[in-house]
Amino acid sequence: MTAKLVMENIGMKFGEGSGKTTVLDDVNLSIDTGEFVAITGPSGSGKSTLLSIAGALLTPTRGRLLLNGENVSTLSPKESTAMRLHNIGFIFQSAHLIPYLRVEDQLLYIGKIAKLPKQQAKKRAHERLAMLGLTHRKRHYPANLSGGERQRVAIARAWMNDPELLLADEPTASLDASRGQEVVETLAKQVKEQQKAAVMVTHDTRLFDLCDRVITLSDGKIEQSMKEMVST
């Protein structure tokens, strides 16, 4: 397999002088094509910081981040923004949909930001909504959707620019168990079918069976990496 994401000796400190706090300490992590990885651990262990660095939203104090073999650490701010827009999709605890845009327009807005030709954006939006079983909801506003549907729209939106890497921060936190399971099953399926890569921060142990690996963070270090054994 080819690694989509490589984090080498990542360290992150916040604060100044004697008040500096180490959040991540010499983290090494590689996510392969077609792999869906969960990151778990207690509050304050560095999970969200790790995800932010993986998404090029934060620059680590030390270490190197590679996406598709490209050293993200050497990119200019403008290049980093373009990298996030075209290569990384983000899903958060809340769907963060724009309340006054219909479902289809949520996706078309992302296409507009990426400067996709209108017809290409329209075609891709239709494909993404069909992929997630949302075609019949494309003219609905967020207020008229269930929680699970809103999160599926968020996944479709994250897929809109065909990113190589998908990052999800507690994507089921606002959902009940069955809807949460549905959302993560959808995510896992698309990662496999489209040969992308995904990293999900979660505390929900019920979702671990849907992941290829479960990585536990503790005090800024990788404490355990468990590989799921799947019989064929």
Q: Domain map of the chain by residue range?
A: 3-227
Decide if pLDDT at 230 tops 50: no
Q: What per-residue confidence (pLDDT) applies to 227?
A: 59
Q: Which amino acid is at 209?
A: D
- Mean pLDDT along residues 106-130: 93
pLDDT value at 161 more than 60: yes
Region 167-181: mean pLDDT is 85
Residue owning tokens 């000796």: 9
Task: Give the mean pLDDT of 186-213.
Answer: 91
3 state DSSP class of 135: helix
Residue 1 has a pLDDT of: 53
Q: Output the average pLDDT for the chain.
A: 88
The whole-number pLDDT of residue 109 equals 95
The mean pLDDT of 26-42, rounded to a whole number, is: 93
Confidence grade of residue 232 (pLDDT, cut at 50, 70, 90): very low
Q: Look at the domain 3-227 and name its fold.
A: Rossmann fold (3.40.50)
CA dihedral over 193, 197, 201, 205, signed as positive or negative = positive
Sheet with 88-91, edge to edge strand ranges: 88-91, 165-169, 197-201, 36-40, 213-218, 221-227
Q: Which amino acid is at 18?
A: S
Query: Letter for the amino acid at 54?
Result: A
The one-character DSSP state at 123 is: H
Average pLDDT over residues 69-91: 88
Strands 88-91 and 165-169: parallel
Residue 132: per-residue pLDDT: 83
Alpha carbon of 51 to those of 91, 177, 193, 205: distances in Å? Answer: 11, 23, 23, 19
What's this model's pTM, rounded to 2 decimal places? 0.86
| pLDDT score recorded for residue 53 | 93
Residue 200 pLDDT level (bands cut at 50, 70, 90):
very high
- The answer, yes or no, to whether residue 189 has pLDDT greater than 80, is yes
Question: Is the predicted pLDDT of residue 231 greater than 70, yes or no?
Answer: no
Q: Which two tokens stand for residue 116?
A: 């996709």
- The Cα–Cα gap between 73 and 43 comes to 27
